[in-house]
Amino acid sequence: MRQVWPYRLAVPGLRLLTGGALAAEKVAMNGPDGVTVTLDAARLSALPATEAVTSYRSSKGIETGIYKGVLLWDLLQAEGFVDQDHKSALRHTLLATAGDGHQVAYSIGEIAPDFGNRPIMLAYEMNGEPIADGLRMVVPGDLRGARHIKDIVTLDYR
């Protein structure tokens, strides 16, 4: 499923500032061997879109959202970051860092289809609207919200 128009509205990192100006903001994904990939519209639109509904507990109560984005697994595969040998692949993690310093590590073992198979996704749209404060991780099945890290600035594959 590919919906071009909502995706284009949700160009990652385009943030609506007060006053209506658009500021370009992108996520830097640092891979093995010093490779850095800038996640922009062109890169994410080349990947299949996926949707998920999540409900998690936060200090404000239960938060439910319908998200659209790309599976972390698909993204890492597309960039060629994940080792083909599963035993060496399983050593790795992806560390997400947000603008406010919140950090969360996800492991290759939890997202790999042959292992944990968790459909963790990098989302650019929530409830049919572009996410105003940048890209966010969505972790279907988590009971609490902390791993739904918002306003991601960097992703470090380690």
Ligand X SMILES: Nc1nc2c(c(=O)[nH]1)N[C@H]1C(S)=C(S)[C@@H](COP(=O)(O)O)O[C@H]1N2
Binding residues for Mo ion, rule: CB under 5 A, are: 58, 145-146
Cα 91 from Cα 123, distance rounded (Å): 25
Specify the residue, 2 or 60, whose C-beta has the smaller distance to Mo ion: 60
Q: Return the residue nearest ligand X (CB atom).
A: 145
Specify the residue, 43 or 148, whose C-beta has the smaller distance to ligand X: 148
Phi, psi at 85, each rounded to 5°:
-75, 120
Q: Which does 63 bind (CB under 5 to 8 A by kind): ligand X, Mo ion, none?
A: ligand X
- Report the interface residues with ligand X, using CB under 6 A: 58, 60, 63, 98, 100, 102, 145-146, 148-151
Specify the residue, 52 or 112, whose C-beta has the smaller distance to ligand X: 52
| Residue 25: partners with Cβ closer than 8 Å, 6 or more residues away | 12, 13, 14, 15, 134
Specify the residue, 57 or 86, whose C-beta has the smaller distance to ligand X: 57
Q: Where are the alpha helices (DSSP H) in 13-137?
A: 41-45, 72-78, 86-89, 108-111
Measured CA angle at 95 (ends 14, 56), to 5 deg:
75
Burial letters for 123-144: b for 16+ Cβ neighbours within 10 Å, e otherwise?
bbbbeeebbeebbbbbbeebee
| Least distance CB 52 / ligand X (angstroms) | 14
| Least distance CB 56 / Mo ion (angstroms) | 8
| Least distance CB 53 / Mo ion (angstroms) | 19
Q: Which does 2 bind (CB under 5 to 8 A by kind): ligand X, Mo ion, none?
A: none
| Least distance CB 84 / ligand X (angstroms) | 33
| Contact yes or no for 28/79 (Cβ under 8 A) | no
| Least distance CB 101 / ligand X (angstroms) | 8
